[in-house]
Amino acid sequence: MSTQTMTMTGVVAGRAQRDRAESFREHNREVFESQRRARRGPTPEVFFTKHLDNSRIVKADDPERRREMRSFAAVAGVLFLFVMVYVWQHFVSIEMGYTIEAKKLQVEHVREDNRQMRLSEAQLSDPDRIDRIAKQLGLDMPQPGQVVRQNGLDPNAPVMAQAGVPASLLTQ
């Protein structure tokens, strides 16, 4: 009797497996047909299904692997830090180059403005120009004795050179 029960159980289990396999085949056929309808081009697609149950797997603790991973993470972190410092320095040097070029351009503009102002000053202080404008305004050359200096000295009088003691020596 027990062999009949085992045979019956085996038959039932075999049927269940076949039914399950049939249902998977039917499901796969339906999926394949729906994908074939949506597919573009002549290339056939092949799908393999695997039903894995990893819920019962328990990972064993491995202290050596954990130590290796920590050292790897530390080395990777230090390497990442070095790379980031290098990249940061590279970008700062590029930015500094742009700043230097901008300052050089600014200095060039200031020099050009200075040149233009000196040229304008030279044109405005040209004695011929001043004389021409003075004659248009009705001015003449000053007569001798007509120019008076603020310090009260005669501009035409001779001046005697004098040597004096520097003030820094007097205070010592």
- Tokens 């304008």, located at residue: 120
Alpha-carbon distances of 100 from 89, 90, 105, 113, rounded to whole Å:
16, 15, 9, 20
Alpha-carbon distances of 99 from 75, 94, 111, 145, rounded to whole Å:
36, 9, 18, 60
Question: How many other C-beta atoms are found inside a 10 Å radius of the C-beta of residue 28?
Answer: 13
pLDDT of 152 higher than 60? yes
| Alpha-carbon 16 to chain mean position | 65
What local confidence, expressed as pLDDT, does residue 64 receive? 93
Arithmetic mean of pLDDT, 148-165: 68
Q: What span, in angstroms and rounded, lies between the C-alpha atoms of 45 and 32?
A: 8
Instruction: Give the chain's mean pLDDT.
Output: 83
What local confidence, expressed as pLDDT, does residue 143 receive? 81
pLDDT of 110 higher than 90? yes
User: What is 90-113 written as a DSSP string?
Assistant: HHHHHHHHHHHHHHHHHHHHHHHH
Residues in the chain: 172
pLDDT of 102 higher than 90? yes
What local confidence, expressed as pLDDT, does residue 86 receive? 98
What local confidence, expressed as pLDDT, does residue 36 receive? 74
pLDDT of 118 higher than 90? yes
Q: 69 pLDDT band (50/70/90 cuts)?
A: very high
What local confidence, expressed as pLDDT, does residue 7 receive? 56
What percentage of the chain has pLDDT greater than the value 70?
77
Q: What span, in angstroms and rounded, lies between the C-alpha atoms of 163 and 161?
A: 7
- pLDDT tens digits, 45-68: 677 888 888 888 888 889 999 999
Give the least confident one: 9-18, 73-82, 124-133.
9-18
What percentage of the chain has pLDDT greater than the value 90?
39
